[in-house]
């Protein structure tokens, strides 16, 4: 099974709240981000952010340039649905971080809670 198929299956068949890594709010990440003090118009990318609520909290804080990247379109769909009309304020990218084309020096904040934890092969 490919990684994409694995994550699509998880998010298509399980509620995010039922997953062991789910957090209602990613408090440590929010605290670190606020301590770093990027301006509200700073570009922020949440890699592997799929069904995470970090984007909700960033929007609530007034951040304006948020991208959520995830391998799973199903995970992104969960978050877009949860956000409703506010989803239009976010840039969404369904991609594998190993092959995604991202602009150099484009993000003031790069958030990744566990994606790189799963890159276990030397080639990754």
| Reported pTM | 0.85
Rounded to an integer, what distance in angstroms lies between the CA atom of residue 66 and that of residue 62?
10
Residue 123 within any structural domain of the chain: no
Residue 94 within any structural domain of the chain: yes
pLDDT tens-digit readout, 82-116: 999 999 999 999 998 888 999 999 999 999 877 77
Range of the domain at 16: 3-118
Residue 108 within any structural domain of the chain: yes
Residue 124 within any structural domain of the chain: no
Residue 16 within any structural domain of the chain: yes
Residue 54 within any structural domain of the chain: yes
Residue 15: give its domain's CATH number. Answer: 3.40.50.150
Both tokens assigned to 75: 């995970």
Rounded to an integer, what distance in angstroms lies between the CA atom of residue 14 and that of residue 47?
20
pLDDT for res 94? 96
Q: How many CB atoms lie within 10 A of CB 72?
A: 22
Residue 72 within any structural domain of the chain: yes
- The residue count of the chain comes to 124
115 close to 90: Cβ distance less than 8 angstroms: no
pLDDT tens-digit readout, 51-76: 889 999 999 999 999 999 999 999 99
Give bridge partners of residue 65 from the DSSP assignment: 43
Question: Total domain count for the chain?
Answer: 1
Cα three-residue angle 113-119-121, rounded to 5 degrees: 165
Q: At what angle do helices 54-61 and 27-36 cross, to 10 degrees?
A: 40
């Amino acid at each position: 099974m490919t990684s994409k198929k694995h994550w699509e299956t998880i998010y298509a068949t399980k509620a995010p709240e039922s997953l062991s890594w789910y957090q209602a709010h990613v408090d440590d990440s929010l605290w670190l981000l606020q301590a770093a003090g990027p301006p509200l118009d700073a570009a922020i990318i949440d890699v592997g952010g799929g069904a995470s609520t970090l984007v909700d909290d960033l929007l609530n804080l007034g951040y304006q340039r948020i991208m959520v990247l995830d391998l799973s379109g199903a995970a992104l769909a969960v978050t877009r649905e949860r956000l409703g009309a506010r989803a239009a304020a976010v840039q969404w990218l369904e991609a594998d971080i190993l092959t995604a084309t991202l602009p150099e020096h484009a993000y003031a904040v790069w958030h990744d809670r566990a994606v790189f934890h799963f890159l276990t092969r030397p080639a990754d």
